[in-house]
Amino acid sequence: MIPTAPVGQAKSKHKHHHGHDVGERLYIHRHTPIHALSPALKIASLLFFLFVVVATPITYWLSYIVFFSLIISVILVAKLPVLTVFKRSLIEIPFILFAVLMPFFGTGESFVFLNFTIYEEGLLAAAAIVAKGTIGVLGAITLSATSTAKDILQGLERLKLPSLMVNIATFSLRYINVVSDEMDRMKVARQSRGFEARGIRDWKILGSAAAALFIRSYERGERVHLAMLSRGFAGNLPKLATEANSQRDLLVAASLPITALILSLLDRLVI
Amino acid sequence: MHIPDGFIDLPTSLAFIAVSAVGVGVALKGAKSELSDKTAPLAGLATVFIFAAQMINFPVAAGTSGHLLGGALAAILIGPWAATLSITIVLILQALLFADGGLTAIGLNVFNLSLVGVWASYAIFLIVKRILPSNKKAIPAAAFIAALIQVPIAASSFVFQYAIGSVATIPVSTVFTAMFSTHVLIGIGEGLITALTISAVLATRSDLVYGYRGQSRKLEIKSSARSNS
């Protein structure tokens, strides 16, 4: 074992959302109906729900109350820690910043607020972007917190993503920890030789490190391929095991988009 | 940072899902014919490399830093077919696992980065390589220009989608000016990192650089036997 502590390196990898231990770190283990749902149904359910949300204009604000209540109840049923969900949703901050600018742009109805002209059109567009984006982010967080990465791949395979894509994604998730560990070891090695990246003049070294990482990843790919051949690989990977969806699963999965669709249609046609 | 749900309207998002599906379908065929059964493990590890390389922080100045986007790098290292697949998978995993980029916006993001980004960089790379003298030093230079130009092109592709189907009220020209100018700067960084990385790979394993294929010199066998007359 190589001790990694003495360099005094702050574990910078945790600052970045791409993080470490991709599959395992995002999954939050609980025993709930949401966790138990088949991953393919979960992805499809979320996708249809988001299509309903994106298709609803923000002016139907009652619908948006329904959408938010629905996604928040899913999070609560899945017993996900609120703080973790909040932290993971910070990913959307750049687009919120963009939305903040929007009320100052537009045409038509406007009013003056603290010496700034605020356009109603822009205000509505900003609200739409924030509301839809937030629901999307919450949905994806719920998905990755209630299904392991392997489950999600299984789901994608079942949803007929081409098998080559599923295989590439499987390899990616299988080796992301190996490769990012390798990258961390290279970083420790650089630091133990007194290297600290300060500015653009250090890019050459970082570029060589990226190159070394590429060569090692590629050569690992070749070794993996040879190892597979020696174990009888003939060009097709076995399908990831999946069980048939039960009628009940189908009902649970369908309930989210269908409730959203019916209530938003009611809002648009009746009220 | 990718396009979230609801930023571009539904018809546009659906149209781009269709366009991207066709594009990725073509790339699947291309990659299969090129790499055969090696495709999955090699493209898988290349995808992991792109994921990991995006985590390397490149300090700029005064505490700011940037990271690699990787479209041009992937296209030149593993070829545009496999790069299209790799970047698409990076985007799908980012959307599903990290909520980075909306699920309904996946077609928009795949179009900008996997299709426009990868193919624009590869086309520019080939053109510049043809103009420059054909030696090893030309490869990083072509990679620099390809990566530099590719970033504002992909950004313009976003502005194009914004112009078709945006719900936002900021005028297209304003968005274009802002996106284009910032992405030219980002492109310079991207170009530098890409060129440095490619030249380091060329120095040790030039056979792994797709964009350098068929250019390495043939081994010449020179006989030491002299004629005796």
Interface of A with B in 47-76 (CB under 8 A): 47, 50-51, 53-55
Task: Judge whether B69 is closer than 8 Å to chain A, CB to CB.
Answer: no
Percent with pLDDT over 90 in chain B: 53
Number of domains, chain A: 1
Q: What is the mean pLDDT of chain B?
A: 88
A143 occurs within a structural domain: yes
pLDDT at A138: 96
Q: How confident is the model at residue B59 (pLDDT cuts 50, 70, 90)?
A: confident
Average pLDDT over residues B19-27: 96
Which residue's entry shows tokens 């109840």? A73
Tell me the per-residue pLDDT of A46-55, one tens digit each, with 9 for 90 and over: 999 999 999 9
Q: Is the pLDDT of residue A76 over 60?
A: yes
Position B228 scores a pLDDT of 55
- Please provide the size of chain A in residues: 271
Asked, for residue A44, whether it belongs to a domain, the answer is yes
Least Cα separation, residue A263 to chain B (angstroms): 19
- In this structure, of A15-24, A114-123, B168-177, the range with the lowest mean pLDDT score is A15-24
**Where residue A114 falls among pLDDT bands split at 50, 70, 90?**
confident
Res. B35: pLDDT tops 90: no
- Dump pLDDT digits (tens) for A193-239: 998 888 888 889 989 999 999 999 888 888 988 898 899 887 677 77
Residue A15's H or E segment, with its range, is none
State yes or no: pLDDT of B86 exceeds 60. yes
Q: Are B4 and A133 in contact (CB under 8 A)?
A: yes
Give which of A37, A42, A270, A8 is closest to A141, Cα–Cα: A42
Inside any domain, residue A10: no
Of A78-92, A94-108, A169-183, A253-267, which range is least confident?
A94-108
Q: What is the pLDDT of residue B229?
A: 52
pLDDT at B216: 60
**8 Å CB contact between A104 and A118:** yes
Q: What is the pLDDT of residue B68?
A: 83
| Model pLDDT, residue A54 | 93
Of A53, A141, A143, the CB nearest to B6: A53
Q: How many Å apart are CA A67 and CA B171, to the nearest integer?
A: 29
Check if the beta carbon of residue B85 is closer than 8 Å to that of residue B209.
Answer: no
B195 — pLDDT class (breaks 50, 70, 90): very high
Q: Does position A1 have pLDDT exceeding 70, yes or no?
A: no
Of chain B, the percentage scoring pLDDT greater than 70 comes to 92
Q: Which of A172, A208, A226 to mutate to test binding with chain B, by most B CBs within 10 Å of its CB?
A: A172
Work out the pLDDT band at A21, boundaries 50, 70, 90.
low
| Dihedral, A231, A236, A240, A245 alpha carbons, nearest 10 | -150
Please check whether residue A179 touches B, CB under 8 A.
Answer: yes
By CA distance, what is B54's nearest residue in A? A18
Using alpha carbons, select from A233, A78, A58, A215 the residue that is nearest to residue A132.
A58
Task: Tell me what the mean pLDDT of segment A249-261 comes to.
Answer: 90
* Domain assignment of residue A107, given as a range: 18-269
| B200, pLDDT greater than 70 | yes
Between positions 149 and 168 of B, the ones with CB within 8 A of A are: 167-168
The CATH number of B10-212 is 1.10.1760.20
What are the sequence ranges of the domains in chain B?
10-212
pLDDT value at position A18? 42
Closest CA to B158 of B201, B204, B109, B122: B109
